[in-house]
């Protein structure tokens, strides 16, 4: 049985970690390098660095900051935000990232997913999907540019397509649940995880330990991404993993 992963997310804006609700009302949450050092010592399984305004602002990811973070962690490290070419992927990997997350650029140029997987291996390519419920269609639309633009693309169908293109993992964020601390969108997560065979990371909405337990129990997701409840030390990674062990879930031991 593969261990379920706990992933800490650093959403970066103007060089600082921020966190909001439903992609809005962003508040400062700390220094990314210091938080990275803290999470590395706390026992998170992976770290995700997302430059959330890069695509909207039409610029490259903050490579120097990503490199500074990479020097402080010894766990798998994913970097995303504004990455739109093979050369930019290569630069981020050279800076210390283990995986590349793409969202807007994958929608605009699906061949980038295929070429990235061919160049660096599928395990390096994480396709980020920001999804919001469309009540009229009773489905979820994919949003890009940091949640600012609705593509009208069905999230389930897009997940299937990116798997065919060669993505090795999906980072699935519910825009409706993001920052609410009311729990993950388990219906969305289950639908996506059941439609693909690659790992799915559940993101958006964690408010307490039970929310993490719930998303693992009710869906086939492989990992849970957390931000504000860890940034503000509402709970610890050790507390989460101890509860997961009590629920007989496979987890990586914290030494």
For residue 118, the tally of other CB atoms under 10 A from its CB is 12
Q: By the 8 A CB rule, do 59 and 82 touch?
A: yes
Active-site residue, from 45, 51, 130, 141: 130
- Exposed (0-12), middle (13-18) or buried (19+): which is 3, by Cβ within 10 Å? middle
Of the candidates 96, 92, 22, the one whose C-alpha atom is nearest the C-alpha of residue 51 is 92
Residues forming beta bridges with residue 100, ordered by sequence position: 79, 125
Residue 11 annotated as catalytic: yes
> Distance (Å, rounded) from C-alpha 183 to C-alpha 179?
9
Element (H, E) at 24: strand 24-30
Annotated catalytic residue, options 11, 51, 178, 222: 11
Sole residue written with tokens 């990275």: 36
Distance separating alpha carbons of residues 209 and 124, to the nearest angstrom: 29
Closest C-alpha to 7, from 141, 199, 248, 140 = 199
Longest CA pairwise span in the chain (Å) = 49
Dihedral sign, Cα of residue 73, residue 78, residue 84, residue 90: positive
Concerning whether 130 is annotated as a catalytic residue, the answer is: yes
Query: What residues are labeled active site?
Result: 11, 130
């Amino acid at each position: 049985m593969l261990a379920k992963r706990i992933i800490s997310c650093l959403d970066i804006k103007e060089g600082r970690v921020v966190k909001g609700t439903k992609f809005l009302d962003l508040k400062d949450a700390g220094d990314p390098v210091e938080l990275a050092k803290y999470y590395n010592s706390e026992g998170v399984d992976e770290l995700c660095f997302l430059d959330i305004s890069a695509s909207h602002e039409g610029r490259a990811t903050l490579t120097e900051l990503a490199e500074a973070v990479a020097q402080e962690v010894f766990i798998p490290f994913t970097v995303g935000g504004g990455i739109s070419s093979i050369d930019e992927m290569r630069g981020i990997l050279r800076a210390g990232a283990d995986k590349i997350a793409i969202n807007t650029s994958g929608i605009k140029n699906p061949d980038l997913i295929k070429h990235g997987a061919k160049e660096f291996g599928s395990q390096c390519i994480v396709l980020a999907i920001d999804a919001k419920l469309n009540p009229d269609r009773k489905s979820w639309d994919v949003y890009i540019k940091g949640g600012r633009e609705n593509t009208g693309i069905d999230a389930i169908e897009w997940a299937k397509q990116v798997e065919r293109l060669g993505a090795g993992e999906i980072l699935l964020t519910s825009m409706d649940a993001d920052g609410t601390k009311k729990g993950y969108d388990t219906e969305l997560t289950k639908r996506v995880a059941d439609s693909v065979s690659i790992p799915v990371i559940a993101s958006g909405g964690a408010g307490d330990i039970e929310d993490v337990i719930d998303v693992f129990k009710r869906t086939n997701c492989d990992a849970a991404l957390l931000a504000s409840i860890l940034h503000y030390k509402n709970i610890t990674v050790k507390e989460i993993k101890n509860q997961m062990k009590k629920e007989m879930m496979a987890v990586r031991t914290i030494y």
